[in-house]
Amino acid sequence: GNSVTQMEGPVTLSEEAFLTINCTYTATGYPSLFWYVQYPGEGLQLLLKATKADDKGSNKGFEATYRKETTSFHLEKGSVQVSDSAVYFCALKRDTGRRALTFGSGTRLQVQP
């Protein structure tokens, strides 16, 4: 079946540090890939997405590239801010059949000033 594996957190960084959160997936076909973010006390928000191999999703300084050869969709940001502190979820959506999202376990990011 489909699954998403994320690096376990929490990840603690100083402001302006480089961020990588690893995400790998298992899926048949050609799924779409997503990163969602959940800020403290708020609901899930889409951060970025990619729908086919080699696509790069980007938003708010975050980037992730859909790598089919390594089945990965790692999230990166060159310089994190305190306001980036949140829980980040990697997710996939199948290209056929059920369109519900399959989520990773989430990675908590804490950025210290």
Q: Which residues contact other proteins (rule: CB under 8 A)?
A: 30-32, 36, 42-46, 49, 51, 89, 93, 95, 98-106
Judged by beta carbon, residue 5 or residue 72, the one nearer other proteins is 5
Q: Which amino acid is at 48?
A: L
Judged by beta carbon, residue 69 or residue 99, the one nearer other proteins is 99
Minimum separation from the CB atom of position 77 to other proteins (A): 21
Minimum separation from the CB atom of position 51 to other proteins (A): 5
Whether the upstream peptide bond of residue 113 has omega within 30° of 0, thus cis, is no
Considering only CA atoms, which of 86, 95, 111 is closest in space to residue 36? 86
Judged by beta carbon, residue 73 or residue 89, the one nearer other proteins is 89
**Residue position matching structure tokens 């089945």:** 71
Minimum separation from the CB atom of position 14 to other proteins (A): 28
Q: Are 107 and 22 in contact (CB under 8 A)?
A: no
Rounded CA gap, 44 and 39, in Å? Answer: 8
